[in-house]
Structure 1
Amino acid sequence: MNYTYGYARVSTQSQELARQLDILEKYQCNKIMTEKISGTKADRPQLNKLKESVREGDTVVVESWSRLGRSTKDLIDLVDFFSMKKVKLISDKENFDTTTPQGKLMLTVFQAFSQFERDLIVERTKEGLKSARARGRVGGRPKLNSKKVKQAISLYDTKQYSLKDIREMTGVSSATLYRYLNARKTNHYDQ
């Protein structure tokens, strides 16, 4: 059996969901998930629960795109997510339904924009690396001075210094120190 899920969200606790819920009711949703949380929050528990609940053939209804996505990119990613799961997506305000010819066209446009954004990020990264190399810089993590690492380990082994003290004296971060200490335990690092 396929389910129809409604999703409604307002940005603050003082705002009301009634208008959105009235719209979602006409779609005879089996379950309506609601949130009172800012759209700028990446972690929206009810939306996450919705994403985990939907199955192929289900339908998700929203009052408008602004209730679903935090940004254009987020909205495109969500539309893409539901599309990949073969979940029908309906936005009442925009009169968007992914099963109609117009909806399929818009879905194709959304996916093209998503791919375009990914391609731009790759292109900018390559350009940035090329520019850095032209100035004599190489990408990646800076190389650690093995003497500094050995010094940090020795200081740690004395049990007289805090991690902050060791970091200030050697420039070796706590995470790096622990990585080398763990490697030492498993005999992957010799002093």
Structure 2
Amino acid sequence: MAIAGYARVSTRDQNSSLSTQKQALEELGSQKVFCDVISGSKSARPGLRAAFEWLRSGDTLLVTRLDRLGRSTVDTLRTVAELEERGVRLKALDLDLDSTTPAGRLVMRTMASLAEWERELLVERTRDGLAHARAQGRVGGRPRVLSSAGVDAVKAALAAGLPVAQIAALHGVSRRTITRVRAGEYD
């Protein structure tokens, strides 16, 4: 059974932190350490993907901090669930967490429940906020690039047989906007 380490920092300025993480992981028996220098807000983490490809069922992934695995609680728990599905043991040093112990599984499941609750609250708050904004006459989304007079002009140009590209250039909009007007999607 192999042990892999995973270290992540958000910026190149944190290289000393990356070195510290790597050293700790190697001292604890990591045969290979995978690294990412990328913001936690980015979902694509090539080092973590490489670690997943390297690890097999029965192996262990070691991290210095649990939050290194994801950009949010939900994302971290998704990564943890993927590890569990693949039969890979997870050890997080900051929480002294081991996914193969009963206490470790309890903590993981509790965190998963809290993350689900947090996600549901966020959806509910967003829905309430949008309803409140609509009640005050505000509408979200990007502003329209064509006024109602512009839409009428585009329709007239389409009826006259002008090419979509030419109409788009005349109005300073994309061809997609013109095709949306033609399809009746732009009201």
TM-score normalised according to structure 2 size: 0.66
Secondary structure of 1:15's match? helix
| Structure 2 unaligned residues grouped into runs of 5+ | none
Shift of 1:125: 4.2
Match of 1:31 in 2: 32
Matched, 1:109 2:110: yes
Rate the CA distance shift 1:175–1:30 in 2: closer, same or farther, 3 A: farther
Rate the CA distance shift 1:94–1:148 in 2: closer, same or farther, 3 A: farther
Counterpart amino acid of residue 15 in structure 2: Q
Match of 2:7 in 1: 8
Contact 2:74 2:116 in 1 (8 A): no
Counterpart amino acid of residue 166 in structure 1: H
CA-to-aligned-CA distance 1:107-151 (integer Å, 9 cap, x gap): 011111221122123323443455466568899999x97856634
Looking at structure 2, the residues matched to 55 and 156 of structure 1 have their Cα atoms a distance apart, in angstroms, of 61
Looking at structure 2, the residues matched to 141 and 14 of structure 1 have their Cα atoms a distance apart, in angstroms, of 37
Shift of 1:9: 2.3
The more displaced of 47-56 and 59-68 is 47-56
Looking at structure 1, the residues matched to 157 and 119 of structure 2 have their Cα atoms a distance apart, in angstroms, of 40
Match of 2:171 in 1: 166
TM-score normalised according to structure 1 size: 0.65
Alignment length (residue pairs): 178
Contact 1:167 1:174 in 2 (8 A): no
Match of 1:187 in 2: none
| Structure 1 unaligned residues grouped into runs of 5+ | 184-191
- State which of 160, 163, 166 in structure 2 corresponds to 1:157: 163
Aligned pairs (5 A) from 1:34-45: 34-45=35-46
Rate the CA distance shift 1:54–1:155 in 2: closer, same or farther, 3 A: farther
The more displaced of 107-116 and 71-80 is 71-80
Aligned pairs (5 A) from 1:63-142: 63-128=64-129, 130-131=131-132
Match of 1:186 in 2: none
Secondary structure of 1:90's match? strand
The more displaced of 95-104 and 74-83 is 74-83
Match of 1:46 in 2: 47
